[in-house]
């Protein structure tokens, strides 16, 4: 029988009794739990600099599924991170790899050598060779599907599970909301488990997607302020202070100079980015700078900015990547408490629905 995380005393007092919606929640996300090998069908988002051994180990130890964010790591560094995570947990966890990484095959080989059971391919449509390489190692390949047509293609090339992530998510994001993607994909895709991500910060939202057919959910922003997260205290305080509307997408001033959409909390850095674009575009229009050099100058503005914010605590000039659910982050909490809170909310929602049907 799948076990749910224990409900803290405070949550029990709020509910008035132990939620009898637990059995229904277990039924709704049983497929996700089975696929992940966990008690809770919640994946941690692959957040560069944040989703490292400590947070990943804590999420897995609490019964959910931690995911290491490889980011720009080389194979040697990834191997070190995986081994360090194994030292913190004997529970399942995965590794998130960026499909555009120049050493993607070598990174997959590292995961295979160290017996990582699930590899998440993010940041673009993965090559079929990468999916096969993961599956040939005995691991499960999890891929992001930003549209129904791509979800079908990913299944054809062998994806074992999909994540659909809406524009409410933090970091690099697509143009469609989570709710629309869920309505487009969940009623159609049944061959593999589908996890929903983007803008999810409460248990009631998880229930709504499970009832639409999701196998589970992926949450990133909600875990940034976990006690076990190594994010700088300045970074965590920025999340706790922020409202949902503060997490905005990158502004593109001129279609000649594309800007990859990134959702982050607005700060002095984001305002300066707009000014830099304006200055660079003016130089091009005046013939003082060619278009290629201008594009590079714009793209390089944020180089190292995420690390400056997460690790160094420069929340004015660094990148504060966050989803719109940041408005639901109110305090620093242990991972186990975050998960227990989400489960209590989900069970209470199911209880209310059952009572309403009587």
Task: Using pLDDT thresholds of 50, 70 and 90, give the confidence band for residue 357.
Answer: confident
User: How does pLDDT run across 319-352, given as a tens digit for each residue?
Assistant: 999 999 999 999 999 999 999 999 999 999 999 9
Query: Is 4 among the domain residues?
Result: no
Q: Is the pLDDT score of 237 beyond 90?
A: yes
Residue 201 shares a structural domain with residue 290 = no
pLDDT at 222 over 70: yes
Residues 183 and 84 in one domain: yes
- With a cut of 60, say whether residue 11 has pLDDT above it: no
150 located within any domain = yes
Q: Say whether pLDDT at 1 is over 50.
A: no
Query: 109 with 49, same domain?
Result: yes
The 8-class DSSP code of residue 325 comes to G
Q: What pLDDT, on the 0 to 100 scale, is given for residue 12? A: 46
What is the chain's mean pLDDT, rounded?
Answer: 93
Tell whether 85 is covered by a domain.
yes
5 touches 60 (CB < 8 A): no
Give the span between the Cα atoms of 143 and 161, in whole angstroms: 7
Same domain flag for 195 and 291: no
pLDDT tens for residues 85-110? 999 999 999 999 999 999 999 999 99
Compute CA 156 distance to the chain's CA centroid, rounded to the nearest angstrom: 24
Considering the domain architecture, whether residues 28 and 95 belong to the same structural domain is answered as yes
DSSP for 89-148, please give it: -SS-EEEEEETT-TTHHHHHHHHHHTT-SEEEEESSPPPHHHHHHHHHTTPEEEEE-SSH
Residue 16 has pLDDT above 50, yes or no: no
Instruction: Indicate if 165 and 196 belong to the same structural domain.
Output: yes
pLDDT at site 19? 54
**281 and 221 in a common domain:** no
Q: Which domain holds residue 193?
A: 9-231+329-357
Tokens of 145: 């599907």
Is residue 272 domain-shared with residue 211, that is, in the same domain? Answer: no
Same domain, 256 and 282: yes
Mean local confidence (pLDDT), 161-173: 96
Residue 181 lies in a domain: yes
Neighbours of 84 (CB within 10 A): 15
> How many independent structural domains does the chain possess?
2
- Percent above pLDDT 70 for the chain: 95
Q: Answer whether residue 144 is part of any domain.
A: yes
At residue 354, the pLDDT reads 80
CATH number at residue 17: 3.20.20.70
pTM: 0.91
- 2 within some domain: no
Examine the domain organization and report whether 78 and 160 are in the same domain: yes
Buried b / exposed e across 290-303, counting CB within 10 Å, b at 16+? Answer: eeeebbebbeebbe
**Is 3 part of any domain?**
no
CB of 117 within 8 A of CB of 111? no
136 and 161 belong to one structural domain: yes
Whether 250 is covered by a domain: the verdict is yes
Please tell me whether residue 290 adopts helix, strand or coil conformation.
coil
Mean pLDDT on 267-276: 95
Note whether 88 and 177 are same-domain residues: yes
């Amino acid at each position: 029988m799948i076990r749910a995380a224990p409900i803290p005393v405070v949550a029990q007092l709020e509910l008035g009794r132990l939620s009898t919606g637990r059995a229904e929640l277990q039924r709704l996300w049983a497929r996700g739990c089975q696929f992940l090998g966990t008690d809770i069908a919640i994946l941690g988002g692959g957040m560069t600099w944040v989703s490292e051994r400590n947070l990943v180990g804590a999420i897995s130890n609490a019964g959910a599924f931690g995911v290491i964010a490889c980011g720009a790591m080389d194979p040697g560094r990834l191997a070190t991170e995986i081994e360090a995570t194994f030292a913190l947990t004997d529970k399942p966890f995965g590794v998130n790899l960026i499909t555009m990484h120049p050493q993607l095959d070598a990174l997959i080989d590292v995961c295979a050598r160290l017996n990582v059971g699930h590899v998440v391919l993010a940041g673009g449509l993965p090559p079929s060779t990468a999916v096969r390489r993961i599956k040939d190692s005995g691991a499960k390949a999890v891929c992001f599907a930003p549209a129904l047509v791509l979800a079908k293609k990913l299944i054809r090339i062998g994806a074992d599970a999909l994540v659909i992530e809406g524009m409410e998510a933090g970091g690099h994001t697509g143009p469609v909301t989570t709710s629309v993607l869920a309505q487009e994909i969940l009623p159609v895709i049944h061959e593999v488990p589908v996890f929903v991500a983007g803008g999810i910060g409460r248990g009631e939202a998880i229930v709504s997607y499970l009832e639409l057919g999701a196998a589970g959910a992926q949450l990133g922003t909600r875990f940034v302020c976990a006690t076990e997260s190594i994010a700088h205290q300045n970074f965590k305080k920025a999340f706790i202070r922020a409202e949902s509307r503060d997490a905005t997408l990158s502004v593109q001033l001129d279609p000649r100079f594309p800007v990859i959409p990134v959702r982050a909390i607005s700060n002095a850095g984001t305002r300066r980015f707009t000014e830099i674009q304006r200055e660079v575009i003016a130089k091009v229009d005046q013939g003082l700078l060619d278009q290629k050099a201008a594009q590079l100058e714009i793209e390089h503005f944020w180089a190292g900015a995420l690390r400056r914010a997460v690790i160094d605590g420069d929340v004015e000039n660094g990148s504060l990547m966050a989803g719109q659910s940041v408005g639901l982050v109110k305090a620093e909490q242990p991972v186990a408490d975050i998960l227990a809170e989400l489960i209590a909310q989900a069970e209470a929602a199911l209880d209310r629905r059952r009572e309403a049907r009587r």
